[in-house]
Amino acid sequence: MSVKRASISVIAAAAVVTLAGAVQAATLENLERERGIVIETLLDPSLTPRQRQDKIAVSKRRLVDLERMVLRDKSLAERHDPVVRKAFDNYDLTFLIHASVEKNAALIDHWLQQVGVSTHTLMNARLGRR
């Protein structure tokens, strides 16, 4: 009976370790997901200015923490995949909050500048069908 309990304990422990590894997402992926939420919030036409401001305030706090975690994550230096390289090559887009503070720009202004949209292009844009 004790052998049976021991084997069940070993199996349970192995399952917990396996599931914990599968559930834990990497810091860069968490950052990318949260950054996507912020950009979606910035561009959502259904939000009132107050709703947008409230959602962005919450997301900014999360993004600051996630950006710091990614910058301090030593395991990313060991990963040589294109996603990690591209993230660090595009610092101004990956670390959106830090970069906007460094450039003393509003979050939306900084992001629009990085993706190549200016006030001039927005003012000259025309609504139409394709």
Break the chain into its structural domains and give their ranges.
Answer: 26-124
Mean pLDDT along residues 44-66: 93
Report the percentage of the chain scoring pLDDT > 90. Answer: 42
Asked if the model's pLDDT at residue 18 lies above 50, the reply is no
- Residues 28, 83: contact at Cβ < 8 Å? yes
Tokens (6 digits) for 7: 């084997």
Supply the pLDDT for residue 26. Answer: 87
Q: Note the residue count of the chain.
A: 130
Supply the pLDDT for residue 74. Answer: 87
Asked if the model's pLDDT at residue 29 lies above 80, the reply is yes
Supply the pLDDT for residue 11. Answer: 53
Burial class (CB in 10 A: 0-12, 13-18, 19+), 121: exposed
Asked if the model's pLDDT at residue 118 lies above 50, the reply is yes
